[in-house]
Structure 1
Amino acid sequence: MKIAIATVQIPFITGGAEYLASNLLRELTERGYEADIITMPFKWYPASSIMDSILSSRMIDLTEVNGVKIDKLIALKFPMYYVKHHHKVTWMLHQHRQAYELWGTEYGDLDKMEDGSRVKDIIVKNDTKFLAESKGLYTISNTVTDRLKKYNGLDSIPLYHPPSNHKEFYCNDFDDYIFYPGRITEIKRQHILIESLKYCNDNIKIVLAGALDESYKQKIQSIIKENRLENRVVFVGFITEEEKRKYYANALAIYNGPYQEDYGYVTLEAFFAMKPVLTHFDSGGPLEFVKNEHTGFVMEERPEELAGKIDFLYKNKHKARELGLNGKRLLEELKVDWNYVIERLIT
C-alpha cells in the first residue's frame, strides 16, 4: 500500500509538526507500508499568501505517481488537508489558529492584516466544507477536537501519540531546578516561570533549553535584570536528545504553561520521565494530562501562585516523585502508543 503523508512546512523551521510527520513515516515503514512525506511551503503573510496556499492545495494531484496509484492520503496540516483524494484521512495537528482561537488575542496576527477578516471567513468556510471530505477525521488531542466542533460543527476522534524516543526517558533524581525544553517565545509564556523565581526559595533555579525569539528576548531579559535573577536562570540553548533526557531525569518538575497549546510534547516527555508538570487553566492540550494534585498542578497564570507550587515540591520531593509516577501511569491508561494510532489511520 502506498501512503502519502501531506503536510506543510515553513522553510528552515523544524518543530513538533515536522517530528510528528517523520515519526509517522517511520512507524508506517516499520509496519511494511510504502510511505512518503509530501510537503508544501507555507507563508502566512500577507493575508493574500494564505489564499494562494489554499488554491494551490486544491490543485495538487496526489492520486498517483509514475502511473501507480497512491492508495491512501493522510493529511496533517492546513491547508494540505484540502487536497482531493479518493481515500483521504485527516489527522489534524491544528487548523490555522490565527483564524480561530487566536483571533483578536495578543497572540494573533491575521486580525491585524489588511483583508484579514475576509480571509478568516474564507478559512472557516473552506475548513468546514473540505474537511468533511475526509473518510476519517481525527485530531491529535481533545483540545483540537473541541475546536473543530465549536467553530466548524465537525465531529472528530482524538488519537494520542507518543513523542520521539519516548521509551528512552527515565527518572534519576529531583534536583533543585525547573526545566523547560522548546522554543522560548511569547505564547509559551516562560516569562511567568522566570518571574515566579522572585517569590521562590533562593535555592531553586530554572533551566531553559531552546531558541529564544528575538521579539521575546527584551521582555525576558528585563524580568531577569530587574529581579537580579542572572544566577538563577540558565539558558542552555540547543541540546542533544540525550542531554534533554538527562535534564528531565534530574529536574524537580517541568513547566509547560503555553496559551492554548494543541497537544504539547513537553507534558508527555515529562510523564515518561516520571516528573510532575506545572501548567495553567488556559493552556489547552496539557490539561488533558495534567490533573491538579494528581499528576501536577494547574493554576492561574500568576507568578506568585506558581512559586507557591514550586516551593511545595521543593519541600516535599516525595510528593514530586508521586505525581510524576501518576503521570507515567496515566499515559499507559490512555494508550499513548503508535500501534493504536496506526490501526485507526489505516482502517
Structure 2
Amino acid sequence: MKIGIIKPDYKITGGFEVVVNHIKAELEYRGHNVDIVNVDATKRTLNDIPCSIDSHIFQQNADFFRYINYFWKYLKMDLSMYDIVISTQPPSFAIQHPRHIALFYHHSKAHYDLSELFQEVGLHQPYHRKAQEVIREIDSLSLSKVSIILAGSNTIKERIAKFNNLSVNVDLFYAGIDKDIYNYSGPLSYNYPIVVGRHEFPKRPELFVNAMKKLPNSYGRIIGEGGRTDDLKRIDQLLTYTSIEGIYIPDDVIWKKLSNGFFEEAHSELLRKSKRFKHKSNVVFTGRVSREQLFKEYADALCVVCPAFEEDYGLTAIEAMAFSKPVIACADGGGYVELIKDGVNGFIVEPNSVALAEAIRKLVDDPELARTMGENAFQTSRLYSWDNAINKISETILK
C-alpha cells in the first residue's frame, strides 16, 4: 500500500518528529511504501490564501493569518497518488482524501487548551477571540471529514470532544518509545532528581527550580535547552538569591511572567543584586546532551520530574519509567496524569513548588521507596512498545 504522511516541517527534531519517523520505518518494515511529505512551516508568505490581506491587519494577527495560509495550502494539495494519507500537526488535517487518518497530538494550542492562559499572561495577539472562533470552526469542519482520528492520549481525545464536538470517529493511539530505551538493561542508580525536555512555555521547569531551592541540601539537574533557557537560568540565579535572603516570589509569577521574560523592576533589581553575591546554585544545567549522555542521565536519576501544564502525551514520563524511575507530575499535567498511579509508580502533586519539593524529599529520604516505585514504573513502561503502536496503526489502515 502506498502511504503518504503529511508533515509540517518546523526545521527541528522533537518528540513528534521521532514518532513520525518510527511510524514510517515500522510501516515500511511491514511492506508498505511510505513517503513523508514535508511542508515547510517556517515560510511567512500568504500566497495560498485566495484573497489579499492588508499588511497592517496581517502584522496585528500574523500567527492567525499564517495558520489560515497553511490551512489553504493543505486543502489544495493533490494526494491522489496515495492509497491512504496520514495527517499530523495542525492544520495538516485540512487535506482532502477519501482514506484519511489524522494522527492527532494537539490543536493550535494558543486557540484551544492554552487560550485562556495565553490571554492571562499577555502572549495573545489582537482580535484573539475572533481568530480563535474562526480557527475552531474550520478545524471542526476539517476533522469531521477525516476517516478516523487517532488521538495520542485520552487527554487529547477529551479535548477533541470538548472543542470540536467529535467522538464517533476518534480512537486512541499510544506511541511507543525508542527501542533502545524500551530495552535498556544497563546499570541503574538513584542519585538526584532531573527534568528532561525543551525549555518552552508552559513546560514549567521553573517550578522544579523553585522546588530545589526548598531542598538546599540536595541538587537537581535540568537536561536540555530551548527558547526559554536564558530566562530559566536568570530565574535560577534570582531564586538562589531570594531563597537565601528569605524573599518570597509566588510560583504563578515565576512560571507565567518571569519565564516569558516579563521581569518587573523589583525582580530586575533582585536579579542585579544576585549577580553581585554570586551564590552557588543547587541546580545544574546540562544543555543539550548526546543520546549516550541522555541514557546516563536517566539511569543515574533518583526520579524524573515532569512539571508541564496540559501536556499532550507524556513521552518523557514513559522514557523515565523504562529506566525504572518514579515520575513526579502535576495534577494539571494533562497526558502525564494518565500514566501515573499516585504513590505507586510516581506522584501526582498540586502544581506548585512546595508540593514538588515535598514529593522529591520523600524519595531523597527513602531511596528504597524510589527503587520500589521505579520497579512499578518499569512495568508501566512495558505497555508502550512500538509493536503495540504499529499494530494499532495497521489495524486502522486495514479497516
TM-score, scaled relative to structure 2:
0.79
- Secondary structure of the 2:117 match is coil
In 1, distance between residues paired with 2:392 and 2:219? 38
Matching residue's letter, 2:316: V
Partner of 1:176: 191
Question: How far apart in 1 are the matches of 2:161 and 2:186?
Answer: 38
Query: Which of 166, 183, 192 is matched with 1:154 structurally?
Result: 166
Q: CA deviation at 1:216?
A: 3.0
Query: Aligned to 2:88, what secondary structure does the other structure show?
Result: strand
- Kindly provide the CA deviation profile for residues 18-41 of structure 1, in whole angstroms up to 9, marking residues without a partner as x: 111111111111111110111223
Determine if the alignment matches structure 1 residue 39 to structure 2 residue 42. no
Displacement of 1:49: 1.3
SS at match of 1:46: helix
Instruction: Kindly indicate whether residue 361 of structure 2 is the aligned counterpart of residue 344 of structure 1.
Output: no
Letter in 1 for 2:237: Q
> Which amino acid letter does the alignment assign opposite residue 340 of structure 1?
N
The 3 A distance-change label for structure 1 pair 339 and 186 is closer
Structure-2 residue corresponding to 1:222 = 238
Q: Quick check: 1:163 aligned with 2:162?
A: no
Question: What CA distance in whole angstroms lies between the structure 2 residues aligned with 1:101 and 1:231?
Answer: 34
The reply to whether residue 74 of structure 1 matches residue 86 of structure 2 is yes
Q: Mark the runs of 5 or more structure 2 residues left unpaired by the alignment.
A: 45-61, 245-278
2:105 partner SS:
strand
State the shift of 1:300 in Å.
Answer: 0.9
Write the distance in 2 (CA, Å) between the matches of 1:201 and 1:322.
25
Residue 263 and residue 243 in structure 1: after superposition, are their counterparts in 2 closer, same or farther (change >3 A)? Answer: same
Question: For residues 289 and 104 of structure 2, what CA distance do their matches in structure 1 show?
Answer: 29
The answer as to 2:216 corresponding to 1:198 is no
- Which residue of structure 1 aligns with residue 116 of structure 2? 104
Q: What are the Cα deviations for residues 167-209 of structure 1, in whole angstroms up to 9, with x where unaligned?
A: 243463333311122112331111111111222260x211111
Unpaired runs of at least 5, structure 1: 65-69
- Which of 189, 201, 204 is residue 186 of structure 1 equivalent to? 201
Aligned-pair RMSD on alpha carbons? 2.2
Give 1:263 shift: 0.5
Say if 1:118 and 1:170 are closer, same or farther in 2 by CA, change over 3 A.
farther
1:333 Cα deviation from its structure 2 partner: 4.7
CA distance in structure 1 between the partners assigned to 2:126 and 2:397 by the alignment: 41
User: What amino acid is aligned across from residue 4 of structure 1 in structure 2?
Assistant: G
Measure the CA separation in 1 of the matches of 2:290 and 2:201. 24
1:185–1:216 CA contact under 8 A, matched in 2: no
Looking at structure 2, the residues matched to 332 and 107 of structure 1 have their Cα atoms a distance apart, in angstroms, of 39
What whole-Å deviation, never above 9, does each CA across 1:73-112 have from its counterpart, x for those lacking one?
0111111111001111111021111111111214889972
Distance 1:334 1:9, change over 3 A: closer
Q: Tell me the equivalent position of 2:284.
A: 234
- Aligned match of 2:67: 50
2:89 maps to 1:91: no
Q: Which residue of 291, 301, 313 corresponds with 2:351?
A: 301
Quote the Cα distance in structure 2 between the aligned partners of 1:344 and 1:107.
41
CA distance in 2, matches of 1:345, 1:245: 33
Distance in 2 between the 1:342 and 1:63 partners? 21
Q: State the AA in 1 paired with 2:366.
A: N
What CA distance in whole angstroms lies between the structure 1 residues aligned with 2:38 and 2:345? 37
Q: What amino acid does structure 2 have at the position aligned with 1:343?
A: S
- Any idea what SS the aligned residue of 1:187 has? coil
Give the whole-Å Cα distance in 2 for the aligned partners of 1:40 and 1:125. 23
Aligned pair in 2 of structure 1 residues 157, 107: CA closer, same or farther (>3 Å)? farther
Contact 1:7 1:78 in 2 (8 A): no
Change in Cα spacing, 1:221 to 1:37, as seen in structure 2 (3 Å) is farther
Q: 1:339 to 1:55 in 2, by over 3 A?
A: closer
- In structure 2, relative to structure 1, the CA distance for the partners of 1:51 and 1:106 (3 Å cut) is closer
Which of 144, 153, 167 aligns to 2:156? It is 144
* Equivalent of 1:270 in 304, 320, 331: 320
Amino acid at match of 2:5: I
Q: Percent identity?
A: 24
Tell me what 2:293 maps to.
243
Size of the aligned set, in residue pairs, is: 340
Pair member with larger Rg: 2
Question: Is the CA contact (8 Å cut-off) linking 1:110 and 1:120 kept in structure 2?
Answer: no
Matching residue of 1:207 = 221
TM-score, normalised to structure 1's length? 0.91
